[in-house]
Structure 1
Amino acid sequence: MSSGKIAAQHATLACYKIAMTVNPKLLRQWDQAGQTKVVLRCTGEEELLVLEARARSLKLCVRSIEDAGKTQIAAGSRTVLGILGSGRLVNQVTGKLRLL
């Protein structure tokens, strides 16, 4: 599995756990629509935090993943951002990003 696929799975699980209790209707819609996952790249942790804030402001289900620091990345560094919501709203946050 590619690193992008691994990142998508990890972020998806984090969002899934939140949506189960906070917005089960959204989770059902996502499930029925085929569980779409798209992996994009940003310039770094600072941009990731801006994207996270923008997603939260749109009331999307969002979860950033902090690295444990056991290999190449410093502990606590945010490396992955999961966003779950309607494609239209998610695209408002991620529409200018490029595929990983």
Structure 2
Amino acid sequence: MGTTISIQQTVTLSLACFASGVFLGKYLFGGPVCEYEYEEESEEEESDDEGLEIDSSSLNEIPGECKMVLVVRQDLKMGKGKAAAQCSHATLALYKKISNPNSEAYNPNMLNRWEYGNGQAKVTLQVPNQEEMDILFAQAISMGVNAHIIHDAGRTQIAAGSATVLGLGPAPKSVLDQITGSLKLY
């Protein structure tokens, strides 16, 4: 009799095999097992929040857990997969900004608190429209919170340039709750 495994087990095994191959390729052969061409053109357009001065160093003094918050616009009526992709773009953009020494949002202390504190917490919330999203963005910037708005490239469901997701953090939970505490879960 054969053994049946679930899709989740198959995905887990595939990821484990891939990670093992990357690990072996890096440490046994001096480089990755596979190479691929990185396409310079991103799925998403650049955000208009580039160049804003964000000094989040004062947030390092605030104790407690840290998290990221992903705020999804509801008026765009994105499918779940599209929204998930947009949230992934936001998470990566926030991470790049806070971990890059050349970024205005660079804060290795906050990044370490988030990475090693409570499982890299992320919460997804909903906002009714772009106007409300822009208000949250302005509040975050004024409080020194790392923030990034994702704008869609317009190749699938959404018009080009549409602001889809606002990413905030990582930052102390207490600070992010001041900005997004009234929003409902997505």
Q: 1:2-81 to 2 correspondence within 5 Å?
A: 5-21=84-100, 22-33=106-117, 34-81=119-166
Is the 1:8–1:37 Cα contact (8 Å) retained in structure 2? no
| 1:92 matched to 2:171 | no
Is the 1:5–1:39 Cα contact (8 Å) retained in structure 2? no
Structure 1, residues 33-74: CA drift from partner, whole Å, max 9, x if none?
Answer: 211000000011111111101011110011110011112211
For this pair of structures, how many residues does the alignment match? 100
What's the % identity of the aligned pairs?
42
- Kindly report the root-mean-square deviation, in angstroms, between the aligned alpha carbons of the 2 structures: 1.6
More off after superposition, 78-87 vs 5-14 = 5-14
The alpha-carbon distance between structure 1 residues 69 and 2, as it changes in their structure 2 partners (threshold 3 A), is closer
1-structure distance, mates of 2:121, 2:131: 26
Give me the TM-score of the superposition, normalised by structure 1. 0.91
Is the 2:86–2:150 Cα contact (8 Å) retained in structure 1? no
More off after superposition, 87-96 vs 65-74 = 65-74
1-structure distance, mates of 2:121, 2:88: 11
Amino acid at match of 1:96: S
2-structure distance, mates of 1:68, 1:2: 16
User: Which consecutive residues of structure 1, in runs of 5 or more, have no partner in the other structure?
Assistant: none
Report SS of the residue matched to 2:99.
Answer: helix
**Aligned-residue offset at 1:4:** 5.2
Amino acid at match of 1:97: L
Is the 1:15–1:61 Cα contact (8 Å) retained in structure 2? yes
Structure 1, residues 16-36: CA drift from partner, whole Å, max 9, x if none?
Answer: 000002111111110012110
Regions of 4+ moved over 3 Å: 1-8
- Map of 2:30 onto structure 1: none
Give me the TM-score of the superposition, normalised by structure 2. 0.50
User: Which consecutive residues of structure 2, in runs of 5 or more, have no partner in the other structure?
Assistant: 1-79, 101-105
